[in-house]
Structures are given as C-alpha cells and as structure tokens.
Amino acid sequence: MGSIVIEDLQPTLDGGRHPVKRVLGEPLRVEADVFKEGHDVLAAVVRWRHHLATGAEGWSERPLLPLGNDRFGAELILPKLGRYAFTVEAWADGFATWVEELNRRLEAGQEVQSELLEGAALLDAAATRAEPVAPAEAQRLRALAAELRGTDPTKARAAAQDPQTRALAARHPDRSVSTRLEPPCEVRVERVQAACAAWYEFFPRSGGGPGHHRSLREAEDVLPAISELGFDVVYLPPIHPIGVTARKGKNNARLAAKGDVGSPWAIGSAAGGHKAVHPELGSLEDFRRFLGRAAEHGLEVALDLAFQCSPDHPYVTAHPEWFHHRPDGSIKTAENPPKRYEDIVNFDFLGPARESLWTELKSVVDHWIAQGVKTFRVDNPHTKPLPFWEWLLRSVLDEHPDVVFLAEAFTRPKVMRALAKVGFSQSYTYFTWRNSKDELRAYLEELTQGPAAEFMRGNLWPNTPDILPEGLQRGGPPAFKIRFALAATLSSVYGIYMGYEWCEARALHGEEYLDSEKYQLASWDFDRPGEIRGFIAAINRARREHPALRHYKTLRFHEADNDRVLFYGKQTPEGEDPLLIAISLDPFEPQETTLQLPTAALGLAPNEACEATELLSGQKVLWQGKSATIRLTPQAPAAIWSLRRFSRREAAFDYF
C-alpha cells in the first residue's frame, strides 16, 4: 500500500452509495485530487469495468491528466448499456521524478554521472516489467539504459531528457506500491431515450362515442395523429382488469352507477391481475399487436406500473399475507386522511411475506418486458419503501439495461431525489406549479446544472389526468402554447396528456378535470376549434431537427429586461447547434423586451453579425452587437432562433 492520498473523486453520489447516470455516448468526466508527501511526480489512471465482466482482465484504464493544484482528470465514453464500476489508482513515477531532479542538477551545473547510473537502473527495471507484454519496448528500454551508462555524457543526457524516453518508461511503471481508491464508485449507462423523449398520454378505452368502451385494436387509429404531432413515446394508463368492489363513479363519485367503468388504477378482478389485459381492451396478443403498430409509426409504448390492487384482485384471495390488515382481520383499504380509497388496497411491502411479494412484483415487470415493453411510468413510487425500489430497479436494469423507469412522484424534494438515486431514469417535477420567471429559472437551474443533474432527469408535464393547473384553466390557447413551449425546450424530456392539443380546460374543482377520464369514458372531437396541433408539431419538429434541444444539461439562462419574458439558450455539449429561445409568460398581452445576446458564449466578436432564423415562423433576421429587441404575442408567445455566423465573404459582400 502506497502513501498517496486520493480524494474528492467526481462524479460520485453519496460517496459512491448510488450510481451516477449517463446515456450512451455521453461523456463521463472523472476527476480526483491525487497527492503525497515529498516532491515525487505522480501518475494516475481511471479504471472501469462493466458489471458483467469478471476478473482482472475485465478492467480498462485511461491515464488521468494533471489539471493543476493536485487535481487530475480524464473523459470516458463508456461503450455499452449497463452498470459500471470505476475508481482511480495512482503511483509515484520514479523515472519522471528522476528526470526532473536531473534537470535541476544540470541547470545548477552539477556533476550527474552517478545520477545517470541511477536513471539507467530505473530503465532496466522498466524493461524487466515490459518483457512479458512488450518485448520490443523492453529491448528499446535496455538500449536507452546502455546510453545512460555510456562514455559520451552529451549523448547520455540527451537520451535521459528525451520526452519519448520518459513516455516509454511511463508505459511500464512500478505499481507495486500504488494506491487504489476502494470501494469503486458506479455509473449506470442508459439508452438515449432515458434522457430525451416526448411523451403523449392517452386512455385507449376512450374516444369511441357515448358509452362505447374501445379496444386496443380500435385505439390503434390514434397512433398516426400522435406520430404526426412529433411524439415518440405513447404512455398508456393501466390496461389491466378493473375491480368491481367500491368502484368509483363519474367525477370520482363514491358510488358507481350501472355501466360506470371505474378507475384503471383499481387493478384486478376475476378476469385477472397485473399480468392480464382488461377484457374490453382485448388480449395479450392485442397488446403485442398495439406495440407493433406503434413501432410502425416511430412510437414506443410506455406502460403504467401501479403496485396496488382492487379488493377483487386474485392476489387478495391467494396471498392475504401480502396486505395490511385491520385488527378485525379485514384488509385495509388505501387512505390519505381524510381521503379514503375504498376501491384500492395496498401491499405490505415490509411485512413478514416481503420476500415472496417482492419476487412476484418483479415477475410483473419481467412479464411486460417479455411482451415488448421497455418503458414504465411508475405510479406513486414515493408511497412504497425505497429499499424495495432499489432492489427491484437494480435487479431489472442489470438484466435489461435498456429499460426506462419514470417516477410519478409529486412529493417532497428529498424523496424525489432519493427515488432518482435508487434507479429511476426520469422523474416528474414541480414544473407544473412554477410560473414566474424567477421560479422557472431557479428550478430549472437546480435540475439541469446543480448536483441533481448527475442522477435526476426532470420530465416536464404541463398537465396530467390528475392536474389541470389554474393557469391553463384561465389562459386559453395562449397559455397552453406557453406551457408546452417551456416544457419542450427547457428539458430534453417532457410529456402531455391527451386533450392538451385541444386546450381542454374544463375543471370540476381545484385542479381536477371535469368528467375526468380516470373514472369514465370520454369522446374527443378531433376538429374542435381552438386547437394548437400545428404549434405542437412545429416545436417537436425543431426538437428532431436540432440536436441542442435533445440535450438536458446544456440549458443556460440569459438576460431579458422584461419580467414576463424568459430567455435562455441550448447547444450540444461540443458547442454546436447554438439555439436561443424566448418565451412570453403572459397569455393575455403582447410583451416586448431587449435580449442581452450571449456573444462570448456563442464565440462572436463584440460587434460581429450573425443570421438568426426563427424556427417556428421561418423568419430570418440579422443580429449584430450585444442586444436585440423582440416582440412576443399571445398568439405567437415563443421564438426559437438558430444562429449562423457569416463567412468573411458573406459579411463583406453577399448579405449586405
């Protein structure tokens, strides 16, 4: 064991307790402080290994480069999906230390014959280590050692000071007294869709006219319209059989009337449980067919994962030990006082039968993965124990590293972050309730640029079946445009619930939809006035055509002198495809503002001109200098500019 100190390894999460996250192709920048007593030159490497690799041969290495002040760093691109261990190892580079000491002696005019013999011995030792793996390099090292022992002092000094000699010796170091940071930390590499996706939620049972429960085969006719709008994930609420006991009626009425279809989240009946399809929706074969039809339109299907049951679920009879019981022996229904959910019973996740329960719930996930599902939206994960999610997600993702989990957790910030730490790829956020310029800026900077960005990806939803925000209720189509543009450009991953494109804003009370699809069938008028489908399609088209909008961590806010205009930019991590975005936060009145253009960040000289193309209208303007004045209206509340610098010839002749 060496005396080198290695500390402040980054990126790590809770001291290595949980993996940080990357997507395929995204760099992992590894840095650490590395130092020891004395004046030795230190060498360090980052070591990494995929969790499926075994033995010493499974480790790869890359040199860490000195960054100054004892800080070392390097960048990795990990080649495949899954979980990796990574750590840092460091040692004293004996030959490099000797070279630096030799140079100081030569500068002082001292005799160095004895020192040259020491250097020759170091090269001989390096040659011995090289012999088994690189015989040609071993031969070259011995030849250099001979030059250092030679009678020509000029030639010996030249060989000693040659950078190539130092580099060759460094390839075969003495690591017998190296220091390695243990235990290793982890990073999980996910597919790109874990950080970049446009979600569209709809209830497949709705849309068939009054009282008509549609099937999955009938619901296939919605897929072309979703694809044309530019979405790439179709999210279905639970598709399982629905219980009859205490079934909820229309508008969450406590008692259901004849013909009421109930809540899809009250899972389980005599027709089956979590591994079955509601009979009126069809069969497993119909579901697999739906997946195929969606794929033909470039759409992936996300399935709701709700670990709760109707009192009629087969689990209740077959495994009463999996549930909470009252003192009288009856199974306890779900509660959030003063509310009671008589149509739902919860599992006892930490009860005596937890081992068999957890195994069964994992088999539910495995079942739907076997049908072809690769994305799950998980209902209320914050009401289940974190140890359960950590075990389940690690088990599933180690076997199926291409699966994506979205946490539907509108809860306390630390609980939301804890869920992300234990493996959820994405998380719902508080975006729905962030409205002012300062609120939006502070929150999105926290999500995309703060420590949370290493492990938590915010999936921004302007609405859900549970949430019709007050701003959408009052603001009409302009408000729907504003919130959509914010969600789709502030984050690389976002979603909407069907009806958004028609600006559905009828509320029952608070943020609850009137005639909510959670409890009844709905009929949609695809040609109703006031729709914003063209606006949605245009922004999704910009997301597909411009890589900058598909990145999560490159969001940067800029200054605009109007508190009702949010101004920000995005580009690729390499600095390509620079975009500037301005969005009015006022759905009622036009807003003018002067934008402070980030010329330095864009690589523009202070008075250099550039061409700005507004992607939603196609209008081109010339920007020159550090500011630009714009006007946004309720009808056109958002602008996205793609920037192009002029060539010397264009600037001098063509454009002007």
| CATH number of the structural domain spanning residue 175 | 2.60.40.10
Average pLDDT (144-149) is 93
Task: Say if residue 655's pLDDT is above 50.
Answer: no
121 and 223 co-located in one domain: no
170 and 223 co-located in one domain: no
Task: Give the pLDDT confidence score for residue 651 in this predicted structure.
Answer: 47
383 and 482 co-located in one domain: yes
CA–CA distance, 421 with 401 (Å, rounded to integer): 16
Average pLDDT (530-547) is 97
Residue 321 maps to a domain: no
90 is in which domain, residue-wise? 5-189
What's the CA angle centered on 281, arms 275 and 282, to 5 degrees? 70
Better-scored residue on pLDDT, 340 or 593: 593
Task: Say if residue 384's pLDDT is above 50.
Answer: yes
- Other C-beta atoms closer than 10 Å to the C-beta of 74 total 20
Residue 490 dihedral angles phi and psi, to the nearest 5°: -70, -40
Task: Give the pLDDT confidence score for residue 647 in this predicted structure.
Answer: 59
Residue 341 maps to a domain: no
378 and 283 co-located in one domain: yes
Better-scored residue on pLDDT, 155 or 415: 415
| Tens digit of each residue's pLDDT (9 = 90 or more) over 215-243 | 999 999 999 999 999 999 999 999 999 99
Task: Say if residue 382's pLDDT is above 60.
Answer: yes
Q: Is 258 exposed, middle or buried (0-12, 13-18, 19+ CB in 10 A)?
A: exposed
Dihedral of CA 569/618/487/365: which sign?
A: negative
**Angle (deg, nearest 10), helices 135-149 and 163-170:** 130
Task: Give the pLDDT confidence score for residue 2 in this predicted structure.
Answer: 74
CA–CA distance, 11 with 553 (Å, rounded to integer): 15
pTM passes above 0.75: yes
| Tens digit of each residue's pLDDT (9 = 90 or more) over 435-493 | 999 999 999 999 999 899 999 999 999 999 999 999 999 999 999 999 999 999 999 99
Task: For residue 516, give the CATH number of its domain.
Answer: 3.20.20.80
The answer to which of 184-193, 227-236, 404-413, 517-526 has the lowest mean pLDDT is 517-526
pLDDT tier, 173 (very low <50, low <70, confident <90, very high otherwise):
very high
185 and 200 co-located in one domain: no
360 and 486 co-located in one domain: yes
Average pLDDT (116-122) is 95
Task: Give the pLDDT confidence score for residue 154 in this predicted structure.
Answer: 84
- Element spanning 119, H or E: helix 113-130
pLDDT tier, 1 (very low <50, low <70, confident <90, very high otherwise):
low
* CB contact at 8 A, 467 and 511: yes
Which residue reads 């009409």 in tokens?
476
Residue 336 maps to a domain: no
| Tens digit of each residue's pLDDT (9 = 90 or more) over 316-327 | 999 999 999 989
What torsion do the CA atoms of 496, 498, 503, 507 make, to the nearest 10 degrees? Answer: -100
Task: Say if residue 649's pLDDT is above 50.
Answer: no
Q: Is 3 exposed, middle or buried (0-12, 13-18, 19+ CB in 10 A)?
A: exposed
CA 650 vs CA 572, 610, 621: distances in Å: 25, 10, 15
458 and 530 co-located in one domain: yes
pLDDT tier, 653 (very low <50, low <70, confident <90, very high otherwise):
very low
Residue 334 maps to a domain: no
Better-scored residue on pLDDT, 109 or 339: 109
Task: Give the pLDDT confidence score for residue 529 in this predicted structure.
Answer: 83
What percent of the chain lies above the pLDDT cut of 90?
Answer: 87
Task: Say if residue 3's pLDDT is above 80.
Answer: yes
Task: Give the pLDDT confidence score for residue 458 in this predicted structure.
Answer: 98
Last residue of a domain, one of 514, 545, 576: 545
168 and 223 co-located in one domain: no
Last residue of a domain, one of 545, 577, 604: 545
Q: What does pLDDT average to over the chain?
A: 94
Task: Give the pLDDT confidence score for residue 340 in this predicted structure.
Answer: 75
Task: Give the pLDDT confidence score for residue 654 in this predicted structure.
Answer: 42
Task: For residue 576, give the CATH number of its domain.
Answer: 2.60.40.1180
131 and 257 co-located in one domain: no
CA–CA distance, 498 with 496 (Å, rounded to integer): 7
* CB contact at 8 A, 226 and 245: no
Within 8 A by CB and 6+ apart from 382, the residues are 407, 409, 411, 412, 415, 416, 419
CA–CA distance, 514 with 524 (Å, rounded to integer): 14
Q: Is 185 exposed, middle or buried (0-12, 13-18, 19+ CB in 10 A)?
A: buried
Last residue of a domain, one of 545, 574, 597: 545
* CB contact at 8 A, 236 and 303: yes
For residue 460, give the 3-state DSSP assignment.
Answer: strand
Beta strand extents in 349-490 (DSSP E only)? 375-379, 404-408, 426-427
Task: Say if residue 652's pLDDT is above 50.
Answer: no
CA-closest candidate to residue 573, choices 26, 11, 10: 26
pLDDT tier, 606 (very low <50, low <70, confident <90, very high otherwise):
confident
Which residues carry out catalysis?
379, 408
| Tens digit of each residue's pLDDT (9 = 90 or more) over 316-370 | 999 999 999 989 988 888 877 777 778 999 999 999 999 999 999 999 999 999 9
Residue 112 maps to a domain: yes
